[in-house]
């Protein structure tokens, strides 16, 4: 999960970053004190799962920033940081997920992070339909590490280290996977789950399961997408 924070008080933004880390959160956080910079960052194409926005900010308050994010097709969760509930009716219009009342505490942040995680897991039901002469199966996208094709045989490598082997056209699998933003094609024979990349070198990716995946010259532009995804 990748999180964007915007709070004009740097001390509060830094404290929230620390409390999110202490909650056991597995992901990346990026904090801004300027709403316009936060908006520009989102517009650059990075993947953001949730935004924590302070409501009271000069020039552009958190409600207005949330409206602009929604106008730019941000469909994920927004948590507002506030000292009161006076803005509840306005925040309803931008589909607020929750509120964090200041002053922030570890317990408050942990509770919200737990709710975000459960919400994301519940909503993340998209997957790949597999049908062969031997079996039929539905695999959640979130359970796939990467997919590769060798001599017309497609291998779907799962997070639990199991492998699904199927004789099919790689393009058919590719068509299903690439509609989901978490996947990218880095080589004519490989599609990777960006959430499962551990490191990226000049011509190679290392996945969290230890697999080494080549980056082809023909797909060099994918590096920009991977960088934005990994380093929100």
Rg of the chain over all Cα atoms, to the nearest angstrom: 20
Give the residue, 41 or 126, on which the prediction is more confident.
Answer: 41
Per-residue pLDDT, 133: 75
> What CATH number does the domain located at 127-230 have?
2.40.50.1020
2-123 folds as Rossmann fold (3.40.50)
Q: Where are the beta strands (DSSP E) in the chain?
A: 2-6, 28-32, 50-54, 77-82, 98-101, 127-131, 136-140, 144-150, 153-158, 163-167, 183-187, 190-193, 197-200, 204-207, 212-214
pLDDT in tens, 130-169: 877 778 889 999 899 999 999 989 999 999 989 999 988 9
Between CA 59 and CA 25 the distance in angstroms is: 31
Residue 103 preceded by cis peptide, ω within 30: yes
Tell me where in the chain the CATH 2.40.50.1020 domain(s) lie: 127-230
Per-residue pLDDT, 90: 62
Tell me where in the chain the CATH 3.40.50.2300 domain(s) lie: 2-123
Q: Record the tokens describing residue 225, joined without a space.
A: 């997408």
pLDDT in tens, 55-113: 999 989 999 999 999 998 888 899 999 887 665 556 566 888 998 999 999 999 999 99
How far apart, in Å, are the Cα atoms of 168 and each of 126, 191, 214, 226? 21, 15, 22, 27
pLDDT in tens, 181-228: 889 999 999 999 998 999 999 899 999 999 999 999 999 889 988 887
């Amino acid at each position: 999960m990748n999180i964007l924070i915007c709070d004009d008080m740097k001390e509060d933004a830094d404290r929230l970053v620390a409390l999110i880390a202490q909650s056991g959160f597995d992901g990346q956080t990026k904090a801004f004190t300027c709403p316009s910079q936060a908006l520009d960052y989102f517009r650059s194409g990075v993947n953001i799962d949730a935004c924590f926005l302070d409501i009271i900010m000069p020039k552009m308050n958190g409600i207005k920033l949330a409206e602009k994010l929604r106008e730019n097709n941000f469909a994920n969760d927004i948590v507002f940081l506030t000292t009161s509930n006076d803005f509840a009716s306005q925040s309803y219009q931008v589909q607020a997920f929750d509120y964090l009342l200041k002053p922030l505490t570890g317990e408050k942040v942990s509770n919200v992070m737990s709710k975000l995680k459960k919400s994301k897991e519940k909503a993340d039901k998209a997957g790949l339909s597999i049908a062969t002469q031997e079996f039929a199966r539905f695999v959640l996208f979130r359970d796939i590490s990467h997919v590769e094709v060798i001599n017309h045989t497609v291998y779907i490598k799962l997070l639990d280290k199991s492998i699904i082997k199927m004789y099919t056209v790689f393009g058919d699998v590719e068509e299903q996977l690439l509609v989901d933003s978490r996947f990218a094609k880095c080589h004519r024979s490989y599609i990777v789950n960006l959430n499962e990349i551990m490191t990226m070198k000049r011509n190679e990716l290392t996945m969290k399961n230890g697999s080494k995946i080549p980056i082809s010259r023909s797909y060099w532009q994918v590096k920009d997408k991977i960088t934005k995804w990994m380093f929100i």
